[in-house]
Chain A
Amino acid sequence: MTVKEMSEKLSLKVICMPDGDREVSGGYAGDLLSWVMGRAKSGDAWVTIMSNLNIIAVASLADPSCIILSEGVALDEAVRARAESQGVNVLSSELDTFALCAKIAKEI
């Protein structure tokens, strides 16, 4: 399933999607950035409530297929612009992290 297909299937809000054809190969949930960099796999959908600029660097380096902000967390325009320029897909959902991960797990 691609990031675009997942966003449609799970009714996720698209914050920016410069690479919607990227394949989602798994999932990872976490807010401690070094933990995410150490454990998340390339291609994972990364679910987090963190929204500062550093998440874009982490995503750019650890190479998840997308970031999904749970709990209705919003993204500043400067962070969104950085994500777009770095080719990082960012989606969001009103669901809490547990509920969101449960839905993702059913689809992948």
Chain B
Amino acid sequence: MDLFDISEVLGGKVLKNILGIIFIVYILLSSSIFLRNFCECLQIVYYPSTNIIFVILFFIIAICIVNHLQFNASLKANLIFVPFVLISIIFLFCANLRYFTPQRIFPILGNGLFDTFILGIGNIYALNGVVFIYFLPPLLKEPEKLKKIAISSVCISSAYLILSVSIILFMFPFFTGIDEIIPLYTAATYVEFGSFFQRLESIFLLIWIIAFSCYLSIVNKFAMLLFKKITNIKHSKPLIFPFAIIILAISLIPKNYAISKFYEVHIYRYFMIGVVFVLGIVVLALSYFKEKKKKVIKNE
């Protein structure tokens, strides 16, 4: 059972459809914002004279091609490239160790107790990937292993995030409040081994571009699966182009990088917390209590 099935038990088809629309909007919105921000960085570094729409279009075409293949194809592509991403970040961490100033972890409370522990809760949006755990059970060969899969994927994501944040925090005194792509790219420009291995940032960027394409295709696939589930349509393939066009359209809404970043930092993060951590958990908790109540009544 995934979150939709649970919500159907809790509030019938109405709740299932409402939840479905909210989650589809959330997934399309998040992928569009990330796509725009990633392409902005790409444009700054490599395509200064190319309109952003064409850079975004490259990813959109990749999404369409991958999703035209079977779901297994995108999963296998992910299986191949995710280790490369992990290795690239570990490599980036190790190669830049000599530039680290570990003392930058202090003052330990950062901008103060309130800022760190109350306002800092907003940073939980970095773990936005947990949304897929809600919809994972029907896709698993062995759904009983969901707990194990969920814990291990959260652990891997957290370790990956900690490594990325450590690189930025320990290397730069000025990037800590901004996004993660440009600082990591900047960190990659520091990687040099003698005069032979230099300018490795291109390789890093290539790995990140492939990984990002994989992420987008998986996200788009999930959006299509959710739509298929709430509308009971037979095939999801006709949805590929409409969904890809929606992602393209949303990613083109922000006028510039500043506005796109504003959406991500000030709007998206709270929307994500509301949808993934509040709405999802509330639905799960209410269903749990409803089931428990049913059992108690049954026993009586």
Q: Do chains A and B interact in one complex?
A: no
